Amino acid sequence: MAEPIRVLVTGAAGQIAYTLLYNLAKGDVFGPKQPIILHLLDITPMVGVMGGVVMELMDCAAPLLRDVIPTDDEAVAFKDIDAAFLVGAMPRREGMERKDLLAANVKIFKSQGKAIDQYAKKTVKVLVVGNPANTNALVCSKYAPSIPKENFSAMTRLDQNRAQAQIAHRLKIAPNLVKNVIIWGNHSTTQYPDVHHAVADIGGIEKKVYDAVANDEYLKNDFVSIIQKRGAAVINARKLSSAMSAANAATEHMRDWWTGTAPGKWVSMAVYSDGSYQVPKDVMYSFPVTCGADHSWKIVQNLNIDDFSRKKMDASGQELLEESAEAMMSCQ
């Protein structure tokens, strides 16, 4: 077997991590032949809860899991890691403005960025799950200047999965028969789920999703709104935020980033923008990407963007510029 890799999960005592850690231990992310050492980080009051998580991981008797290192010390948590899932973040509380949420999270991700810069491997791949994920990832990358910007990404895979599942449900097919749905922009209510380039396998015949659904009104209105507000709908029904589906999306995001996407398939990742598709540069913007076996990603280029899509993409880009400006002011 290969040498173990070190994988960090922050917010390790929380709900998302509870599912994610099991997925990691049994090889769903880095493969069935890749041993791992798990680093678990959470705040000091949650150390006792982490102890229970460590016991459960041990009781899973996962053959790939070589060691578990729980800690509340960033120096220990980030030491020599190969990959990181930054799940822990300040949650938005009732009555809290988005700018207040940004200010609280800037402190967390500024500190973690510095720790990545100082202690992690320079090849580390960092996935930010904690919201506001795009801007948290941007702040984290800013304070880890020795790590390439392309080694940071924020999760919009959950939004992609939600969109894919809604289309599959409408077409009465399995979700895996729908591919190349795109999430553009921010993981927020301005995100734009786009099916103009998506295809569906219907009875063994590949069709464009737009043609198969054949309902322009639905795809431009209800569909977009459902995906944008799905997280709030889950909270309203469950009284807790998405956890199982978020852990699944984090698993899939890192798996594809680490091992590569299948030919002809792309996935949505919020990555450091180079200005592709005329969106703002220097923000973490969700694009369709393909991933290589060398842990690299490339933005899918030359897709046709209609006027409706252009407006939606621009609105999300503008929100990210505003968030970035607010976050950087809080950094000072």
Number of domains forming the structure of the chain: 2
162 is in an annotated binding site: yes
For residues 220 and 12, give the distance between their C-alpha atoms in angstroms, rounded to a whole number: 38
Quick one: tokens of 24?
């990691």
Sign for the CA dihedral angle at 237, 21, 158, 94 comes to: positive
> Is there a contact between 165 and 221 (Cβ–Cβ < 8 Å)?
no
| Residue 242 predicted with pLDDT over 80 | yes
Query: 101 with 221, same domain?
Result: no
236 is in an annotated binding site: no
| SS3 assignment for 159-214 | HHHHHHHHHHHHHCCCHHHEECCEEEECCCCCCEEECCCCEEEECCEEEEHHHHHC
**pLDDT band of 92, cuts 50, 70, 90:** low
Query: 230 with 219, same domain?
Result: yes
| Nearest-5° Cα angle at 9, 260 to 327 | 90
> Is there a contact between 60 and 30 (Cβ–Cβ < 8 Å)?
no
CATH number of the domain to which 173 belongs: 3.90.110.10
Residue 125 parent element (H or E): strand 125-128
Spatial neighbors of 105 by CB under 8 A, at least 6 apart, are 89, 90, 130, 131, 132, 135, 136, 139
> Is there a contact between 83 and 8 (Cβ–Cβ < 8 Å)?
yes
Query: 175 with 307, same domain?
Result: yes
Taking residues 32-39, what's their average pLDDT?
A: 97
CA atoms within 13 A on the CB side of 326: 18
Taking residues 215-227, what's their average pLDDT?
A: 97
| Residue 98 predicted with pLDDT over 90 | no
For residues 266 and 170, give the distance between their C-alpha atoms in angstroms, rounded to a whole number: 22
Give the end of a domain, one of 103, 130, 154: 154
Query: 305 with 321, same domain?
Result: yes
For residues 10 and 69, give the distance between their C-alpha atoms in angstroms, rounded to a whole number: 12
Give the end of a domain, one of 154, 185, 218: 154
Query: Is 187 known to be catalytic?
Result: yes
Residue-level pLDDT at 95: 62
Query: 171 with 129, same domain?
Result: no
93 is in an annotated binding site: no
Query: 202 with 283, same domain?
Result: yes
Cis check for the bond before 91: say yes or no (omega within 30 of 0). Answer: no
Query: 178 with 316, same domain?
Result: yes
Rounded to 5 degrees, φ, ψ at 31 are 105, 160
The boundaries of the domain holding residue 112 are 5-154
Query: 270 with 325, same domain?
Result: yes
Spatial neighbors of 176 by CB under 8 A, at least 6 apart, are none
Sign for the CA dihedral angle at 232, 236, 241, 247 comes to: negative
238 is in an annotated binding site: no
Q: Which of 39, 187, 197, 253 is catalytic?
A: 187
> Which letter does DSSP use for residue 276 in this model?
G
For residues 102 and 134, give the distance between their C-alpha atoms in angstroms, rounded to a whole number: 11
**pLDDT band of 44, cuts 50, 70, 90:** very high
Pairing type for strands 192-194 and 182-184 reads: antiparallel
Please report, as a single letter, which amino acid is at residue 126: V
105 is in an annotated binding site: yes
- 279-329 pLDDT, tens digit per residue, is 999 999 999 999 999 999 999 999 999 999 999 999 999 999 999 999 988
157 is in an annotated binding site: no
Average pLDDT value over all residues in the chain: 95
CATH number of the domain to which 73 belongs: 3.40.50.720
Residue-level pLDDT at 97: 66
**Nearest alpha carbon to residue 286 among 138, 118, 169, 164:** 138
